[in-house]
């Protein structure tokens, strides 16, 4: 391996992830740099890690607190596994060396996977929350309690209805009222009695043309209404 002693080579491989992220003491970093100067294989390994490290640099530190942390102690767990493996299998040196190499590959891959996991949860797109418009709801039937929000989509207004007391098994229809008096269907839902239900009801009426909505039971009775 480029004339480098195996031990130095392996030790550097273990530290490459830390080095790529710009961490480690100045002594450790100097030792890695010195090895890299004379070892093309380790330089190639580092080059493979560099894009990952670069992506981590662009992460907004202010958002770190809002995102879940990678599993704590992952590095320690890998090292413990190596130690346990060696303690339980005192075999000849060559076999031991082969196993060490394999385990260190696992350790390195584990570190890269952990770093990749980090990138995944840090840069995943966070969709903008939809703007919700709370609207007042007038309940016309005893036992029903409900609240509603509107979402102004480009294709029409969505009514997000939450409530309890809609009679179990009854099909309720929702219509959105337009300014000119037209009632446009926005879907149906099934009552579930005292259990809470949350329905998203979509209509083709644009928010600016919608003036209210009604929930109508199977008999055509308006059980609740909302005027925007």
For Zn ion, the binding residues (CB under 5 A) are 9, 39, 42
Q: Of 45 and 158, which has the nearer Cβ to Zn ion?
A: 45
Kindly tell me the number of DSSP H helices and DSSP E strands found in the chain: 5, 9
Token pair in block for residue 188: 């149906």
> How many whole angstroms separate alpha carbon 37 and alpha carbon 55?
25
The nearest distance, CB 15 to Zn ion, in angstroms, is 11
Closest to Zn ion by CB, 1 vs 130, is 1
Phi-psi region of 164 (alpha: psi -120 to 50; beta: other; left: phi over 0): beta
Closest of 51, 36, 71, 193 to residue 123, by C-alpha? 51
CB of 9 to Zn ion, least distance (A): 4
Minimal distance, residue 42 CB to Zn ion, in Å: 3
What is each CA distance from 5 to 28, 35, 36, 51, 123, in whole angstroms?
Answer: 17, 10, 13, 28, 39
| Least distance to Zn ion, CB of residue 36, Å | 7
Cβ–Cβ under 8 Å, residues 189 and 213: no
Residue closer to Zn ion (CB basis): 2 or 221 = 2
Beta carbon nearer to Zn ion, 39 or 215: 39
| Nearer to Zn ion among residue 112 and residue 122 (C-beta) | 112
CB of 10 to Zn ion, least distance (A): 8
């Amino acid at each position: 391996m480029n004339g480098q002693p195996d031990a130095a080579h392996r030790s550097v491989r273990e530290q490459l992830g830390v080095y790529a992220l710009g961490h480690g003491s100045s002594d450790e970093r100097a030792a890695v740099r010195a090895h890299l100067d004379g070892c093309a294989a380790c330089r190639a390994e580092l080059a493979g890690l560099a894009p990952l490290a670069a992506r981590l640099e662009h992460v907004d530190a202010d958002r770190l607190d809002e995102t879940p942390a990678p599993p704590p102690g992952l590095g320690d767990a890998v090292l413990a596994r190596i130690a346990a493996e060696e303690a339980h299998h005192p075999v000849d040196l060559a076999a031991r060396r082969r196993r060490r190499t394999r385990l260190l590959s696992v350790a390195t891959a584990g570190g890269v996977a952990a770093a990749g996991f980090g990138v995944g949860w840090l840069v995943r797109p966070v969709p903008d929350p939809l703007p919700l418009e709370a609207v007042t709801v007038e309940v016309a039937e005893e036992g029903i309690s409900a609240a509603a929000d509107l979402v102004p989509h480009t294709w029409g207004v969505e009514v997000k209805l939450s409530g309890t007391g809609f009679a179990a098994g009854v099909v309720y229809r929702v219509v959105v009222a337009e300014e000119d008096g037209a009632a446009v269907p926005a879907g149906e839902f099934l009552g579930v009695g005292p259990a809470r239900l949350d329905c998203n009801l979509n209509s083709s009426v644009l928010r600016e043309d919608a003036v209210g909505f009604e929930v109508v039971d199977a008999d055509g009775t308006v059980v609740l209404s909302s005027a925007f």
